[in-house]
Amino acid sequence: MVGAHYDRPIYREEQDKRDRGAVVRRWGKAYFEAVVKGYQAARMAVIYIPIHYQGKMGRVHPVIERVLTARDQEMSRRGLGDLHSQGVEAARALSADGVAPLEKRPPIHRVEERRIAGPGGDIPLRLYWPNDDKELPLLMWFHGGGWVLGGLENSDLHCRQLANQAGCCVVSVDYRLAPETPYPGAIDDCMAATVWARKAAAELGMDPGRIAVGGDSAGGNLAACVAYRARAAGLPLVFQLLVYPITDADFSRPSYLDNAEGFLLTRSAMQWFWDCYVPDPAKRTAADAAPLRAADLTGLPPAFILTAEFDPLRDEGEAYGAALQEAGVEVVIRRYDGMVHAFFNMITDEPVAQIDAAAQDAVEALRKAFL
């Protein structure tokens, strides 16, 4: 068995040495027990201790708390008791209003809109180039939103950031949404876009031998599912960047119960998303819907999985990492303490160390994969 590797916690402010030592000792013991009882059974080779907010655990970061309060106030102003009870259009309107303003988006060398033929009609794409170099590596990016919400605008900010900082091209895919197009429409579109990008890579100044897939939430699900399908199709991929991915339809995991309400993404919202995307429960165990249910994960590309402490999806994301490791796939899991679902995309009124660290970790993982 390969031994686990432990990062030291990252402290962003100086603290009393006695308090720091107590936190490290307390976390170290609990973490060791969790590894022995859970991850050791899955032969977890690499797992990172979370980045702690000021060395403390068990609370939402105060800046994130303000984001949650503002979100609740906006929903109340719109007469929404939750994200989904008033239907798809109300949920999409709320999601669209959360798009980063143009002045917050970093400049980038080149952006181009394209449409390609897909299995259900044209698929809109947005392509990003950080420079004019030839044979740049490529990241296929699939946006989040529970397969129901979101689009190219929702992902524009971090697609620019990832392209600029990782030195790669990014192709963002505007796949068909549920419930208008249920499973397998979204994964069919994402797979078709990835096949197209590999064929068109030379023409676009990209390296067909260095293609990674990535996404957040439902987009992380689609990235994992594209990697699964690509293996069967003989389409080589070098990496998976999975940001708090959906990997299963089991709503009984501890993170679903502990974080059912009050942390942006709710348990009931996730049940609604699954009802929209895969309305037939019998199909929710398909490997290209719930990759954690796949019988064989061998031969998949290396993965970096980001999870958040107060996220219903935390446990299934980490369980998927354990399953990948059990299958012999190189995987790194990093949990960010004090964070909630969607923190990777949040614009806050002051810097948050965990958000900055997650962005940098993602960039470093991509750079390493593209070497």
Question: Does the annotation count 84 as an active-site position?
Answer: no
Question: Does the annotation count 311 as an active-site position?
Answer: yes
Do the strands 169-173 and 121-129 form a parallel or antiparallel pair, or are they unpaired? antiparallel
Residue pLDDT, tens place only, 274-287: 999 999 999 999 99
Strand-by-strand arrangement of the 110-118 sheet: 47-51, 331-340, 303-310, 239-243, 206-216, 136-142, 169-173, 121-129, 110-118
Residue pLDDT, tens place only, 143-170: 999 999 999 999 999 999 999 999 999 9
Residue pLDDT, tens place only, 185-204: 999 999 999 999 999 999 99
23: Cβ contacts below 8 Å, ≥ 6 apart:
9, 52, 55, 56, 57
Higher pLDDT, 247 or 38: 247
Give me the percent of the chain exceeding a pLDDT of 70. 85
| Cα atoms found within 13 Å of the Cα of residue 69, Cβ hemisphere only | 8
| pLDDT over threshold 70, residue 93 | yes
Q: Is 236 left (phi over 0), alpha (psi -120 to 50) or beta?
A: beta
pLDDT for residue 28: 42
Do the strands 303-310 and 331-340 form a parallel or antiparallel pair, or are they unpaired? parallel
Helices and strands counted in the chain (H then E): 10, 9
Do the strands 110-118 and 121-129 form a parallel or antiparallel pair, or are they unpaired? antiparallel
| pLDDT over threshold 70, residue 243 | yes
Active-site residue, from 311, 315, 337, 361 = 311
Q: Which helix (H) or strand (E) holds 112?
A: strand 110-118
Q: How many residues does the chain have?
A: 371
Contact 166, 366 (CB under 8 A): yes
Residue pLDDT, tens place only, 291-312: 999 999 999 999 999 999 999 9
Contact 269, 81 (CB under 8 A): no
User: d(Cα 65, Cα 339) in Å, to the nearest integer?
Assistant: 9
Active-site residue, from 52, 143, 158, 341 = 341
Question: Does the annotation count 172 as an active-site position?
Answer: no
pLDDT for residue 57: 52
Question: What are the structural domains of the chain?
Answer: 67-296+342-370 (3.40.50.1820)
Q: What's the whole-number average pLDDT of the chain?
A: 87
Q: Whole-structure pTM over 0.75, yes or no?
A: yes
| pLDDT over threshold 60, residue 44 | no
Active-site residue, from 95, 155, 172, 217 = 217
The DSSP letter of residue 53 is B
